[in-house]
Amino acid sequence: SLCPNPITLIGNPLERFYTPIRTTDIKWNFEKILIDHTGQPRKRYTPAFKPLDMKADVQNLVQECLKGYQRKVKWWSFV
């Protein structure tokens, strides 16, 4: 390189890896979180969980959201 970096050490090797502290901390960037229509997290999946296995949970959440929407529509239609 024409202009070498004056610092050759990237950092402390022991600080390069993220270590979760609490059981609620995200352990890895491939964890999946199912979010509802209001932006609230509803369910969390491990990195090993296959996305296609989430299908029933996604369908249930969509149905739940639709039921809430239909209740609002019915209430407003009588006003």
For the segment 37-75, what is each residue's pLDDT rounded down to a tens digit? 889 999 999 999 999 999 999 999 999 988 877 766 665
Q: Reduced to 3 states, what is the DSSP secondary structure of residue 44? A: strand
Cβ of 62: how many Cβ atoms within 10 Å? 12
pLDDT tens sequence across 1-19: 567 777 777 677 777 777 7
Q: Please compute the mean of the pLDDT values over residues 17-25 and round it to a whole number.
A: 76
The pTM of this model reads 0.60
Give the CATH fold of the 13-77 domain. Glutaredoxin (3.40.30)
Query: Does 78 score more than 60 pLDDT?
Result: no
